A and B are shown apart, each in its own frame.
Chain A
Amino acid sequence: MDLLTPDLGLLFWQVVVFLGLFLILRAFAWKPITESLNERENNIQSALDLAEKTRLEMTALKADNEKLLAQARSEREAILRGAKETADKMMADTREKAESEGKRILEQARESMQNERQALVMQMKKEVVTLSLDIAEKVLRKELSDKSAQEKLVTDLVSNSRLN
């Protein structure tokens, strides 16, 4: 068996064994292995794609959320502003009303006081008249108890009242 001349027997066995090995491995090893590898790679790729898609969706969702939030915020502000305006207006209205009511009540009080005073003055006047008449009557009665005095008075009165 020389080094450089191929041996017939070994050639034969090498062809048979190598081809047999190739066919067996192709059917039972390489096919399932490469298929599984491809399948796994596809799975990984699709998972990555899905993650990317989800990420994009999340970004879109976030943008939507932010928009909604901004909208809600502006709405809230509008509502708050409106409420404040209403409250201010109500307060102003109430103050105005209260002021006018107070004024009206004061006026009324002043009027009734006036009336009372007038009535009081009238009453007093009446009382004063009666009292002075009583006094006058009493004085007169006393003054005119004697005859001379009566005559003197009449004389005085006549002298004072100049008949012109």
Chain B
Amino acid sequence: MMRLSINKFLLATALILSSLVGARAQEHNQEGEAHAQHEGEAAAPKGKFNVGEMIMHHIKDDHGWEFAHGLTLPLPVILYSKDRGLEVFSSSQLAHGHEYNGYKNEHGKIHRVDAAGKVDHEAKFYNFSITKNVASLLLSAVIMILVFSAVSSGYAKNKGKAPKGIQSFLEPIILFVRDEIAKPSIGPKYTKFLPYLLTLFFFILINNLLGLLPGAANLTGNIAVTLVLSVITFLIVTFSGNKHYWLHILKPTGVPVALLPIMIPVEIVGVFMKPLSLMIRLFANITAGHIIILSLLGLIFMANHMGGMGTSIAISPVVLFFTLFLNLIELLVAFLQAFIFTLLTAMYIGSAVEEHHEADHGIGYEGVEAH
């Protein structure tokens, strides 16, 4: 009973926090975009600081990894088109708006240009470039493989003994995922899904934390990444759903027949809504955190613009204090979002593989219906 209530409390806290942060993110996002558009229309003079642009530049993907202004790690651009086949070249070829091989990089997006230098929007090609996010993704994969092979070898080395080093650091987290997320949410069949839940949890956690580093990519705040994760969750839930799961969708128990025409579409929409909410929650939370921190730091540069050097120096301590505070919150959010994504995935899987019990139908998976 205690554990359940703690889980409920955590979940509620997480949802409240995530909705708050999410709402704020949207505001900022819209503001930023409006700001950017406004500046664009007014034909902002060169050199004028544009916070919206700066923020968007930081949270979006890019060809080449810019650690600081002027310090950019070029990354491979991989393009495939039917007429030209596979093309691989360094992103530094496209830097500063240069044209290369008939390609041009405009605001981080590669376009084909014709001989006259005009962008050809009709040309069809596929971009499989190692972008900043892909590089960060590969980096995180390498980190995870190194860390967990070290942990795994620790178990082989300290067989029958107490855990040591990084093994004892990560063991409680692994046990937490197993005992607090997988076991209570899925039930006795949890072992089959545990590898996926562990991979998911640590992938999100490590990329959330990596994203907090200065100059790092915003990987878990990218909708493509969260889309893939939630689609995999969706596929697992769909393919492991037993007949009770499908029956519940087609014929929800305890619902009057008259309501079925409403309830069945609701249930069917719910099937897709669950992974969709996973996708948006993670994306919005992480992106929002980045936007808030960047907006705060942007204040210093705005002050420099409007009030000069003195103003910016005067507000810096305040801004830094808030940034530090928000960074700490982001650290919490990094763990929280990894936990929520994994917990909800486990709950969805749990509801799909649950054996049917008349008695506790509808209350067995607390909180699932709330999302």
Bound Cα distance A15, B141 (Å): 12
Q: How many chain B residues have a CB neighbour from A under 8 Å? A: 51
Is B160's CB under 8 angstroms from A9's CB? no
Write the nearest CB–CB distance from A33 to chain B, whole angstroms: 6
Bound Cα distance A33, B160 (Å): 12
Instruction: Determine if A8 is an interface residue (Cβ-Cβ < 8 Å).
Output: yes
Query: Closest residue to A10 on the B side, CB-wise?
Result: B224
By a CB distance below 8 angstroms, the chain B residues around A26 are 195, 199
Contact A7 to B199, CB < 8 A, known contacts A14-B137, A29-B152: no
Instruction: Determine if B155 is an interface residue (Cβ-Cβ < 8 Å).
Output: yes
Partner pick for A15 among B159, B171, B228, CB 8 A cutoff = B228
Partner pick for B156 among A17, A25, A32, CB 8 A cutoff = A32
Query: Closest residue to B229 on the A side, CB-wise?
Result: A18
Give the interface SS of chain A, mostly helix, strand, loop or mixed: helix
Bound Cα distance A9, B63 (Å): 11
Flag the segment in A34-42, A74-82, A115-123, A142-150 that touches B.
A34-42
Question: Among residues 31 to 49 in chain B, which have CB atoms less than 8 Å away from a CB atom of chain A?
Answer: none
Instruction: Determine if B178 is an interface residue (Cβ-Cβ < 8 Å).
Output: yes
Bound Cα distance A10, B130 (Å): 8
Write the nearest CB–CB distance from B13 to chain A, whole angstroms: 27
Question: Among residues 32 to 57 in chain A, which have CB atoms less than 8 Å away from a CB atom of chain B?
Answer: 32-34, 36-37, 40, 43
Is A24's CB under 8 angstroms from B145's CB? yes
Instruction: Determine if B296 is an interface residue (Cβ-Cβ < 8 Å).
Output: no
Give the A-binding residues of B (Cβ under 8 A): 29, 56, 59-62, 78, 107-109, 126-131, 133-134, 137-138, 141, 144-145, 148-149, 151-152, 155-156, 159-160, 171, 174-175, 178, 191, 194-196, 198-199, 203, 222-225, 227-229, 232, 287
